[in-house]
Amino acid sequence: MAIQHAIVHHIHKPEGGATVVEPRSTELPLTPALEELIGKVNATYNNRSGKIYGNFETDQEAFPCARWLAAHLDGETDFSEFSRRLLERLRERLDQQEEPLSGYLMLVRLTVLEVDQLLVLLLSTAPSVVIDEQLELSDAQHLDIGKLQLGVKINLDEWRRSGGQQYCSFVKGRSGKSASEAFIGALGCTEEADARKQTQTLLRVFNDYCGEQQLDAGKASQARQKAYEYCNEQAELGDRVRLKELSCIIDTEDPDKFFNYAGSQGDELMSEIPADRRGLQKFVRYSGSMKGLSLSFSEALLGEQVVYDPASDSITIRGLPPTLRKQLDRGKR
């Protein structure tokens, strides 16, 4: 990861009141502390489930962010100027809704695996207690990196190629709906692909494929593990799952087999899928719950340590976890 530019501004929108912004005039100095912070927030963004994917709106008069970004990339304006224009645009949008919103707007241009990216995040703070040099306790605020409010990542290389692929991804939902709409609207992003739904479709197509190929339990388990490892690695990198690559990994002897099968099913499955990490767990885990019962286990245990009998609608577990066994033994006494 290489950071090219980074800046942060403060936003405070009280409920029903006017939005107050505090812009920073210069970029943040590229220090080890900043690199560590951006590494953490970038990982937090990549790990967030439920991302939505899309592109910029085509009307750059009504949605000028794309035009401002292009001016920066062409060297006509610096990064600070671009960020302040976006900050002002966000202030205007927030003033049109009632919901409160407060935090730090961080913009970062960075290169990850030779891919030029723009990361726009709204970071919140949380109260904490620190001990000062006089060993006195005092209240403080720290960035709550684990609770990312809103965020957008733009693949600048894909955008400039204009190949039609969704190059914007964004996370929302932890702030109010109106605040999320203001944030996405300020950037001028459309909503076109839902990572969660695409992952569910991929899993369904994969399961149908394994069933149609009549793979035995061992081969099906190996295929599941390979698929999960590839998809999860792509999601960790913030990249898409490519059906061509996945097909090669599933079957090295006939690398196009799964790809052709997926294309023949008529599902709305894109050739490059924005994967949802939480949903990918279903490649290698079975889970379910009902009143008073929750069960989850690795797919590799099915048929060995976990035996399913559909006729009796039951599961037999061989070899209980020691902690569970101790609890059960205590309950008998």
Beta bridge partners of 333: none
pLDDT of amino acid 31: 94
pLDDT of amino acid 141: 80
Compute the distance between CA of residue 127 and CA of residue 233 in angstroms, rounded to an integer: 34
Do residues 43 and 35 lie in contact, with contact meaning Cβ atoms separated by under 8 Å? no
* Exposed/middle/buried for residue 162 (C-beta within 10 Å: 0-12, 13-18, 19+): exposed
pLDDT of amino acid 140: 81
pLDDT of amino acid 176: 64
Residue that is written with structure tokens 């994917």 in the block: 53
Three-state SS annotation for the chain: CEEEEEEEEEEEECCCCCCEEECCCCCCCCCHHHHHHHHHHHHHHHHCCCCEEECECCCCCCCCHHHHHHHHHCCCCCHHHHHHHHHHHHHHHHCCCCCCEEEEEEEEEEEECCEEEEEEEEECEEEEEEECCCCCEEEEEEECCCCCCEEEEEEHHHHHHCCCCCCEEEECCCCCHHHHHHHHHHHCECCCEEHHHHHHHHHHHHHHHHHHCCCCHHHHHHHHHHHHHHHHHHHHCCCCEEHHHHHHHHCCCCCCHHHHHHHCCCCCCCCEECCCHHHHHHHCEEEEEECCEEEEEEHHHECCCEEEECCCCEEEECCCCHHHHHHHHHHHC
Compute the distance between CA of residue 235 and CA of residue 246 in angstroms, rounded to an integer: 13
Closest among 279, 278, 296 to 287, alpha carbons compared? 296
Q: Structural domain boundaries of the chain?
A: 2-191, 195-281, 285-332
Compute the distance between CA of residue 258 and CA of residue 251 in angstroms, rounded to an integer: 8
- 108 Cβ contact list (under 8 Å, min separation 6): 3, 5, 6, 38, 42, 118, 119, 120, 121
pLDDT of amino acid 173: 60
CA distances from 304 to 11, 289, 308, 310 (A): 56, 22, 10, 16
The terminus-to-terminus CA distance of the chain in angstroms comes to 57
pLDDT of amino acid 21: 94
Compute the distance between CA of residue 216 and CA of residue 232 in angstroms, rounded to an integer: 24
| Spans of the chain, pLDDT less than 50 | none
pLDDT in tens, 271-324: 888 778 788 888 888 888 888 888 888 887 887 888 888 889 888 988 888 888
Tokens matching residue 143: 């960035």
Tokens matching residue 142: 């720290």
Rg (CA), the chain: 24
